[in-house]
Amino acid sequence: MYKVLMIIAVLLVSANVNAQMNQITFDTTAQKDILIGECNREGMLHPLFAEYYNTEYGAYSPAPETLMLLSAFGHDYKITIVMGSWCGDSHEQVPRFLKTADLAGFPEENIRIICVNKKKTAPGFEEELIPLNIEKVPTFIFNSMAADGREIGRIIETPLESLETDWLKILENL
C-alpha cells in the first residue's frame, strides 16, 4: 500500500510541475497571447509560436569548428535563457541558440528557459528575475555549476559575432 501511495504522490507532483510549464496568457501590452514563466521546446512548438521556432532552428548553421571547441569545454555550467515569445530578437536568437546547443551536445537539462512579458516580469518568478537585472530579451546567462553558482557571462539580445563564437568566448574566460 505504501508503494502505491508513493507512486500516486510522485505522479501528482509530476502533473503539477508539467501544468506550470508552458503557460500561455494574454498580454495586454503586447495585445496577444504569450508564453509566461517556465518554458521548454514543447511550449515554443505550440501552434502560436512554432513558425518562428521551426524557421530559425532549421535555417541556422553554426560554424562546425566552433561547435567542436564548445563541445571540448564540457558541460560544467548551466544556462538560463530569459526570453519573450512576443519579441522578434527572441524569435530569432533562441531557436538558433538551441540548435547550437544541440549540435554541440550540450545537455538540455542544463538549459532553463523563463518567458517574460513586455515588462520583463513573470508572475511567480519575481524573486528569480529581479537579481538577474534583465533589461533586454533574450538574455542568455551562463552560470558555473560550482557551489557558488556564479555568473560567468551573458549574451544579451543579439550576439556580438555569432551565438557560438560569443558562447565560446564566455567559456574561454572561465
- What's the 3-state SS for 64-81? HHHHHHHHHCCCCEEEEE
Evaluate whether residue 145 is within a structural domain: yes
According to the 3-state scheme, what is the secondary structure of 14-62? HHHHHHHCCEEEEECCCCEEEEEEEECHHHHCCCCCHHHHHHHHHHCCC
Any domain includes 73: yes
Burial of 110 (C-beta count, 10 Å sphere; 0-12/13-18/19+): middle
31 found inside a domain:
yes
> In whole angstroms, what is the distance from residue 119 CA to residue 128 CA?
15
The C-alpha cell 542568455 sits at 140
- 10: pLDDT strictly greater than 70: no
Question: What pLDDT band is residue 173 in, cutting at 50, 70 and 90?
Answer: confident
User: Is residue 4 one of the residues assigned to a domain?
Assistant: no
For cell 508513493, the residue is 6
Give the rounded percent of residues in the chain with a pLDDT score beyond 70: 89
> What is the model's pLDDT at position 104?
97
pLDDT digits (tens, 9 = 90+) for 64-79: 999 999 999 999 999 9
Note whether residue 14 is domain-resident. Answer: no
Would residue 102 count as lying in a domain?
yes
Overall number of domains in the chain? 1
Residue 107 lies in a domain: yes
Which helix (H) or strand (E) segment holds residue 92: the answer is helix 88-104
Q: Which CATH number belongs to the domain containing residue 34 in this structure?
A: 3.40.30.10
Domain enclosing residue 77, as ranges: 22-172
Asked if the structure places residue 36 within a domain, the reply is yes
Using the predicted structure, report yes or no on whether residue 89 has a pLDDT greater than 50: yes
Give the pLDDT score at 16. Answer: 41
Peptide bond into 138 cis (omega under 30): yes
